[in-house]
């Protein structure tokens, strides 16, 4: 019996057909309605601009800078969220002490920190990474904390009855129970990291795709903006796909229905 979630050749052909129809409509419909190309350039114009940016505007260099900032911000923010989530989850006293400050940090708009980080650290990669860390941290921390708090207490009491240490309870019961919610948070965080990096590059950057967005706007070149958006989308797809790939490898023991439910 075929799985409904499996991509069959027919479904792949239909998906490709939808894409081709969309690109054809994008290429031919705007001129029919007298939409200027500088407002909505067609796919061919964007492709030509993509090739020009590779040769002239160092597109791969800027893409690599943004991708590096996304990866570093995502990894550091996720690790920080995991550590704080586990600490608050296993220690109610620590949650009482730290949760007001963490909540205040979450309520404060992250974009407001970007100019401050630029003033402190200059036009380097560090302000962008810090903004990404702030945005990534909270969803990971909340998912881990919630997962630990929902662990079956009977399992913990049973482990304690066998004289299990606190570290053994965490390693054998609490940590495995948090993995599905953790990866759900990592999926969200993988997309939020890009937002944080781009915000930092827009506020104060002289390299990266956020810089190219500002450059394209300043030049009045809509095609540059479209190319940059497509490259950012590509980075997001790859980051999200990497998390899904890791999730499939780590959570392979879960039943498929439960895996997709998370």
* Gap between the Cα atoms of 217 and 225, Å rounded: 7
In-domain check, residue 17: no
In-domain check, residue 141: yes
pLDDT at 7: 67
What pLDDT digit, counting tens, does each position of 57-86 carry?
899 999 999 999 999 999 999 999 999 998
pLDDT at 187: 94
Q: Calculate what percentage of the chain has a pLDDT beyond 90.
A: 44
In-domain check, residue 36: no
- Give Cβ neighbours of residue 112 (< 8 Å, ≥ 6 apart): none
pLDDT at 153: 80
Q: What is the pTM of this model?
A: 0.86
In-domain check, residue 23: no
Among residues 254, 253, 235, 232, which one has the least CA distance to residue 243? Answer: 235
pLDDT at 171: 79
- Domain total in the chain: 1
Q: What is the CATH number of the domain that holds 175?
A: 1.10.3720.10
User: Could you list the pLDDT tens digit for every one of the 262 residues in the chain?
Assistant: 445 556 688 888 888 889 899 989 988 988 888 888 888 899 999 999 999 999 998 999 999 999 999 999 999 999 999 999 988 888 888 878 888 888 888 788 878 888 888 888 888 889 999 999 999 999 999 999 888 888 888 787 788 888 777 788 887 888 888 889 999 999 999 999 999 999 989 887 788 999 999 999 888 899 999 999 999 999 999 999 999 999 988 887 655 434 444 4
In-domain check, residue 205: yes
In-domain check, residue 12: no
pLDDT at 60: 95
Backbone angles phi and psi of 183, in degrees to 5: -70, -30
In-domain check, residue 64: yes
Backbone dihedral region of 24: left (phi > 0), alpha (psi from -120 to 50 degrees) or beta? alpha
In-domain check, residue 35: no
Which range marks the domain in which residue 123 is found?
43-261
What's the Cα-to-Cα distance from 113 to each of 13, 105, 117, 124, 192, rounded to whole Å?
A: 46, 10, 6, 15, 15
Helix, strand, coil shares, percent, the chain, to 5? 80, 0, 20
């Amino acid at each position: 019996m075929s799985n409904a979630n499996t991509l069959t050749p027919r479904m792949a052909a239909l998906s490709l057909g939808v894409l081709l129809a969309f690109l054809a409509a994008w290429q031919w419909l705007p001129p029919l309605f007298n939409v200027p190309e500088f407002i909505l350039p067609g796919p061919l114009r964007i492709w030509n601009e993509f090739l020009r940016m590779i040769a002239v505007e160092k597109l791969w260099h800027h893409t690599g800078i943004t991708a590096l900032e996304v990866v570093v911000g995502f990894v550091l923010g996720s690790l920080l969220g995991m550590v704080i989530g586990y600490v608050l989850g296993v220690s109610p006293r620590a949650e009482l002490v730290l949760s007001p400050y963490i909540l205040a940090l979450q309520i404060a708009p992250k974009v407001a920190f970007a100019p401050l980080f630029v003033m402190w650290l200059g036009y380097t990669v560090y302000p962008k990474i810090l903004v990404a860390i702030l945005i990534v941290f909270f969803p990971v921390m909340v998912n881990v904390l919630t997962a630990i708090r929902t662990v079956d207490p009977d399992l913990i009491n049973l482990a304690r009855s066998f004289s299990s240490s606190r570290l053994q309870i965490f390693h054998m019961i609490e940590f495995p129970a948090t993995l599905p919610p953790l990866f759900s948070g990592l999926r969200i965080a993988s997309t939020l990291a890009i937002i944080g990096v781009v915000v930092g590059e827009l506020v104060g950057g002289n390299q990266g795709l956020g810089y190219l967005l500002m450059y394209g706007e300043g030049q009045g070149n809509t095609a540059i903006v479209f190319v940059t958006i497509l490259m950012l989308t590509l980075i997001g797809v790859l980051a999200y796909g990497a998390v899904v790939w890791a999730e499939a490898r780590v959570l392979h023991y879960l039943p498929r229905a439960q895996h997709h439910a998370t």
